[in-house]
Copies of this chain bind each other. A is one copy, B any other.
Amino acid sequence: MSIRTQMFYAREGIVTPEIQRVAEKEGFDTEFVRREVAEGTLIIPANVNHLSRGLNAMGIGRNIHCKVNVNFGTSPVTKDLQHELRKLEVSLKFGADTVMDLSTGGNLTKIRKEVIDHSPIPVGTVPIYEMIERVSDLSYLTESDILDVIEQQAKQGVDYMTIHAGLLKEFIPLAQKRITKIVSRGGGLIAHWITETGKQNPFYTSFDKICEIFKKYDVSFSLGDGLRPGCINDASDEAQLAELRVLGELTLRAWKNDVQVMIEGPGHIPVQQIAYNMKIEERLCHGAPFYVLGPLVTDIAAGYDHTASAIGAAIAGTFGAAMLCYITPKEHLGLPDEEDVKQGLIAYKIAAHAADVARELPNSKEWDNEMSRARFAFEWNKQYSLSIDPETAQNYHDITLPGEYFESAEFCSMCGPKFCPMAAMKKIDGMTLNKKQNLKEATIH
């Protein structure tokens, strides 16, 4: 078996086509990207069996542009494949950087195959969802089931997998002190397995065997935070940090195998604790990219959790989070539909871009400035096309001022022609110019 991960090549000093591609996209030179991949601070989740089927390589790292992941997938309650493929389409249309197929209902293998076939961006999964479909009772799950499912998904072309290997038996009592205990689906299943069997977390004990599979296909770890806080009260607590420390150890073990790693993070964190959470992850996990879910900065925003978490996501991105897992308006209430996917994704694209601007990354602020120049010039069509969702921007404008005439008008319905400050400033510029002109003429005569 040959080792053929991006990390392996990068450490050998080889610039793969994928490293090249990421450097181009990010506006950095290839040597910088190669070094980052070699050091583990940047991953290129690119399963060789997805690369050969049209994956367009991208990078996730703490020193490059902040990325956004979209979760979708069937549930036992709603399980229509076409519906999920439409969510993938929406994800691609609005610029998702990766997607996770979190299906738990219907024919999981078939759904996954279709998603990978249709996705030019990396696809992640949480393989424990399929594992428990194989057994009549969760506690019957064995190491061989675990490795079988992982191998099968790796072979299918999954680019990264969430593996909750850091939730140790010893930490369950820590979680029981919390208001919402465990809120990670995978974490809950593993805690249940541990409690029923009395044994250690099987993903922890099988970790090196999982590495063996991952390096054969270049699957990246997304080390899952089964103990992520489920409310701001539980944030940054003993349970969360105990698990994070183990994820740091596992990072080193994966790296020993040349397997790429990112770390999953919370969840729910109040604003004043976000910077701390980004720093502690960097330190405990040796600089591995941090992939955070939100975080939500308050628990009271049900129905608007995409907004409440976009706040946390922008701050997390500013302080170094490499990828933001989106949250939809339906979070805590139900399974998202296509419109929810769109709303969640757009909120997160805004958050990620705000973080890129704050970190002064290449080709970030330029977009804003182009928009601002179009605004001052009253180039409405250019403003729409530069907007994060051109169709919506134009619709909102045209509700009150429809028609060709208003697409070049020097005002909008907010201020009207008499009150528009930018139009006023244009006149002032003109007046200043005229005065200069007069002065020049006066000098000549």
Interface size for A (C-beta < 8 A) is 110
A262 interfacial contact with B, CB 8 Å: no
Residues of B close to A196: CB separation below 8 A: 431
Contacts of A172 in B (CB 8 A): 428
A51 located at the interface, meaning its Cβ lies under 8 Å from any Cβ of chain B in the complex: no
**Is A180 an interface position by the 8 A CB rule?**
yes
Asked if B429 and A183 sit within 8 Å, CB to CB, the answer is no
A424 within 8 A of B: yes
Cβ < 8 Å to B, chain A residues 300-317:
300-304, 306-308, 310-311, 314-315
Quick check: is A246 within 8 A (CB to CB) of the other chain? no
The CB with the most chain B CB atoms within 10 A, among A75, A351, A392, A420, is that of A75
- Which residues A368-419 have CB closer than 8 A to chain B? 368-369, 371-373, 375-376, 383-384, 386-389, 392-393, 395-397, 399-401, 412-419
* B318 and A272 contacting across the interface, CB-CB below 8 Å: yes
Give complex CA distance A104, B418 in Å.
9
CB–CB B180/A358 < 8 A:
no
A437 CB, min distance to chain B CBs, angstroms:
15
Q: Given A231-B368, A232-B357, is A432 in contact with B176 using a C-beta cutoff of 8 Å? A: yes
Chain B residue at minimum C-beta to C-beta distance from A330: B396
A334 touches B412 (CB 8 A): yes
Among A75, A423, A424, A432: residue with most chain B CB under 10 A: A424
Bound complex: CA A424 to CA B423 (Å): 61
Q: Which chain B residue lies CB-closest to A231? A: B372
CB neighbours of A369 from chain B (8 A):
179, 231, 233, 299
Asked if A365 CB lies within 8 Å of chain B CBs, one says yes
A187 lies within 8 A of chain B by Cβ: yes
Is A442's beta carbon under 8 Å from chain B? no
> Can you name the residue of chain B whose Cβ is closest to the Cβ of A305?
B350
Task: Compute how far the CA of A129 lies from the CA of B420 in the bound complex, rounded to whole angstroms.
Answer: 12
B179 engages A388 (CB within 8 Å): no
| Bound-complex Cα distance A401 to B335 (A) | 10
Write out the residue numbers on chain B whose beta carbons fall within 8 Å of the beta carbon of A414: 75, 330-335
In the assembled complex, A189 has its CB within 8 A of some CB on chain B: yes
Report A's interface with B, CB cutoff 8 A: 75-78, 104-105, 129, 132, 172, 175-176, 179-185, 187-189, 191-192, 195-196, 230-234, 270-272, 297-304, 306-308, 310-311, 314-315, 318, 329-335, 337, 346-347, 350-351, 353-355, 357-360, 365, 367-369, 371-373, 375-376, 383-384, 386-389, 392-393, 395-397, 399-401, 412-425, 427-429, 431-432
14 new A-B contacts at CB < 8 Å, known A181-B422, A231-B375, A270-B357: A75-B415, A76-B417, A104-B419, A105-B416, A182-B424, A271-B318, A303-B389, A307-B310, A308-B350, A311-B354, A329-B396, A332-B383, A333-B397, A334-B400
Can you list 7 A-B contacts (CB < 8 A)? A172-B428, A176-B429, A181-B422, A300-B386, A302-B383, A303-B392, A308-B354
